[in-house]
Amino acid sequence: MLKKILLITLVSFYSNANAQNLDEFTVENIHFHMGVVAAFAEVVNMDVKQIGLSEMFSAEEATKWEPVIKHITDRNGVLYYRENNFLVTDLFSPSRTDGLTLFLIYKGDTLKKYNALKKRKADLIASNKYGQEGRREIATGFGKLLDYSDDVIDRLIASNGGGH
């Protein structure tokens, strides 16, 4: 519960994004989205979460906002990774990420864990073992990386057609 309160507080605090050239913000709600990145950067730095996910961007928008994201992550002592091929699991609808780019906010070996999960999924698909059990394994692994509770993972899987 404390984690949730902290996250909500940080998102509220940062939603006015401390950035230069505010007139250049053309993506709808960009102040909010950069505030979310700042909040995730802070909670990742404080070890409240292993990884945070930015909003989804077109490739052009991602290029435009990447310097701001770099500034935010540098300021918070964490790293970011521009992900053009997001790990699709039963946690989220693939239509939310198809053809889009996001930024992973992390520190330490979290990016290695994320990439290992992507490789595991590819291996399951290649060995024709990405059925219900394999899908659940990958979705659960990703949910744990996002620090979601078991209940939240189960609810997300159920709402996104998990088990089909």
Question: Over the stretch 57-99, which tens digit does the pLDDT of each residue have?
Answer: 999 999 999 999 999 999 999 999 999 999 999 998 888 888 8
pTM of this structure:
0.79
Residue ranges per structural domain of the chain: 2-159
DSSP assignment of 84-135 equals SS----TTS-GGGTTT-BEEEEE-TTHHHHHHHHHHHHHHHHHTT--SHHHH
pLDDT greater at residue 151 or residue 161 = 151
What pLDDT is attached to residue 2?
Answer: 52
